[in-house]
């Protein structure tokens, strides 16, 4: 386990299990917690021995969103500094969102309880969402006079469609696990007591193939809604050229040929 106070990071059989660790605050995201989260994500991304990431929360909640105490401090800043301070803070938010979204390995949000505001956004930054049957989601920014700033305005319409995303953002209403699955917010549901084991097992299944092919394929598919088809094809051609040179490709082809020759 790495030495963080607001984040727990464990590595189990090549799978990183990262947990938000402010259970008394339902894992509300403070500035200090975000800094630790970013550092932990960088560590996971850089470690070639880690094949996949599972993200969850300690205690009863996944993440209750932004820390209200931090909002109060922002409002107490001199009027002429509020805007620039907010912009500077948002840069750190967006760096974290981008790092999680572009992680060059499979990521699963194992949502164990309430994922509200920034917590709901953070879950959707992952490739897959596995929700406990006791989980819930809400884009509750509207209750604070805010808009989703953790990637929700990008990820949510892609999962549920534009009109459904607008309804969830405009109302901030709570979505229970079964509805989340029906809408496409969650990909799978799990019993609360089996959530982490199910997430680790799924992460192992998703990451057993070539790490090179997974990283390159993910980077292209992440852009596929925005790029013209010809650019996706071109990026795919370039990535395939890299795959041709990878150790995984060479070893798998030689193993197949050797097996075939042995049968002849």
Note whether residue 2 is domain-resident: no
Domain that holds residue 230: 211-263
Say whether both 198 and 238 belong to one domain: no
Q: How many domains does the chain have?
A: 2
pLDDT band at 8 (very low <50, low <70, confident <90, very high): very high
148 vs 162: CA distance, rounded Å: 14
Q: Which of 206, 228, 251 is the endpoint of a domain?
A: 206
Q: Which of 206, 223, 239 is the endpoint of a domain?
A: 206
Say whether both 85 and 149 belong to one domain: yes
Say whether both 16 and 129 belong to one domain: yes
Query: pTM (2 decimals)?
Result: 0.92
Note whether residue 89 is domain-resident: yes
Say whether both 22 and 84 belong to one domain: yes
CATH code assigned at 227: 1.10.12
Say whether both 113 and 56 belong to one domain: yes
DSSP state of 228: -
Say whether both 114 and 175 belong to one domain: yes
Say whether both 197 and 233 belong to one domain: no
pLDDT band at 70 (very low <50, low <70, confident <90, very high): low
Q: Which of 206, 223, 248 is the endpoint of a domain?
A: 206
Q: Which residue has the tokens 């079964």?
A: 178
Is 105 within 8 Å of 214 (Cβ atoms)?
yes
pLDDT at 205: 98
Say whether both 28 and 89 belong to one domain: yes
* More confident of the two residues 151 and 77: 151
Say whether both 137 and 220 belong to one domain: no
pLDDT digits (tens, 9 = 90+) for 171-226: 999 999 999 999 999 999 999 999 999 999 999 999 999 999 999 999 999 999 99
CATH code assigned at 197: 3.90.226.10
Is the pLDDT assigned to residue 20 strictly greater than 60? yes
Note whether residue 1 is domain-resident: no
The 8 Å CB, 24+ separation contacts for 159-163 are 159/124, 159/183, 159/184, 159/185, 160/184, 160/185
pLDDT at 81: 76
Structure tokens at 96: 């974290």
Note whether residue 12 is domain-resident: yes
Say whether both 25 and 109 belong to one domain: yes
Note whether residue 150 is domain-resident: yes
User: Which residue(s) pair with 44 in the sheet?
Assistant: none
Q: Which of 92, 164, 166, 156 is nearest to 124 (CA)?
A: 156
Say whether both 156 and 238 belong to one domain: no
Say whether both 131 and 222 belong to one domain: no
């Amino acid at each position: 386990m790495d030495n963080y106070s607001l984040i727990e990071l464990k590595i189990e059989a090549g799978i990183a299990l990262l947990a938000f660790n402010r259970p008394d605050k339902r894992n509300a995201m403070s500035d200090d917690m975000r800094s630790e989260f970013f550092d932990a994500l960088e560590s996971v991304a850089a470690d070639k021995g880690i094949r996949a990431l599972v993200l969850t929360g300690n205690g009863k909640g996944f993440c209750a969103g932004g820390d209200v105490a931090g909002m109060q401090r922002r409002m107490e800043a001199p009027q002429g500094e509020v805007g620039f301070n907010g912009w500077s803070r948002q840069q750190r938010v967006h760096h974290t969102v981008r790092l999680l979204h572009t992680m060059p390995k499979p990521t699963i949000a194992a949502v164990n309880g309430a994922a509200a505001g920034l917590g709901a956004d953070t879950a959707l930054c992952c490739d897959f969402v596995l929700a406990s049957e006791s989980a819930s989601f809400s884009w509750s920014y509207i209750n604070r006079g805010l808009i989703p700033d953790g990637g929700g305005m990008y990820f949510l319409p892609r999962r549920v469609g534009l009109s459904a995303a607008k309804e969830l953002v405009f109302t901030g209403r709570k979505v229970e696990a079964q509805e989340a699955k029906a809408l496409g917010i969650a990909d799978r549901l799990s019993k609360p007591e089996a959530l982490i084991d199910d997430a680790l097992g799924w992460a192992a299944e998703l990451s057993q193939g070539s790490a090179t092919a997974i990283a390159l394929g993910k980077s292209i598919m992440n852009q596929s809604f925005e790029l013209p088809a010809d650019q996706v094809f071109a990026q795919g051609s370039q990535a395939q050229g890299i795959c041709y040179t990878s150790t995984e490709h060479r070893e798998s082809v030689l193993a197949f040929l050797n097996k075939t020759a042995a049968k002849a």
